Amino acid sequence: MTANQNVQAGWTETVCMSCSNGQQVEEYDNYVVTQIMDCSTALTSIAGNPTNPVLTYNSGTPTSALGGWTIFVANADTTNCAITSCVLKASGCGSAYSAGELTIGGLTPWTVTANQNVQAGYDETVCVSCTNGFDT
């Protein structure tokens, strides 16, 4: 038996294997073969998401959770190509984020949290960069 291993989107086939020696037939039904998708193509940015949040100063609640990776990135195969990390980067995604009013969690769902007790206010544009180990 041979199987294609170059289908970028992946595939699954369920077959019945049948072998014969001319005298008898042996069958193995429901044999499942799966080629997982090319994980380097599984992640895509969600255009226009999320909408730009505006936070009101609140000294009683110093931070506000803005959302996890699912509002920033679409993953075509969360089972085989699971996201392994997300980080904040400066706008344009070329360098590390250093402004300090935003943080991102260290574990899934990598929630971005914003400081909302800065009396003078602030305006930041950042990049959320996630990887599945194959794609960023």
The pLDDT tens digits for 34-60 are 887 888 888 988 877 677 888 888 888
Query: Residue with structure tokens 């400066």?
Result: 90
**Would you state the structure tokens that stand for residue 90, as one six-digit string?**
């400066």
With beta carbons less than 8 A apart as the criterion, state whether 134 and 81 touch: yes
pTM value > 0.75: no
**136 vs 133: CA distance, rounded Å:** 8
β-pair type (126-131, 25-35): unpaired
pLDDT at site 136: 53
The domain locations on the chain are: 40-131
With beta carbons less than 8 A apart as the criterion, state whether 73 and 44 touch: yes
pLDDT at site 135: 64
pLDDT at site 46: 87
Residue 108 to residues 2, 11, 57, 112, Cα–Cα distance (Å): 37, 27, 28, 11
pLDDT at site 101: 93
Q: What is the pLDDT along the chain (136 residues), one digit of tens a residue?
A: 788 788 777 788 999 999 999 999 999 999 998 887 888 888 988 877 677 888 888 888 899 999 899 988 999 889 889 999 999 999 999 999 998 899 999 999 999 999 999 989 999 999 999 999 886 5
With beta carbons less than 8 A apart as the criterion, state whether 101 and 114 touch: yes
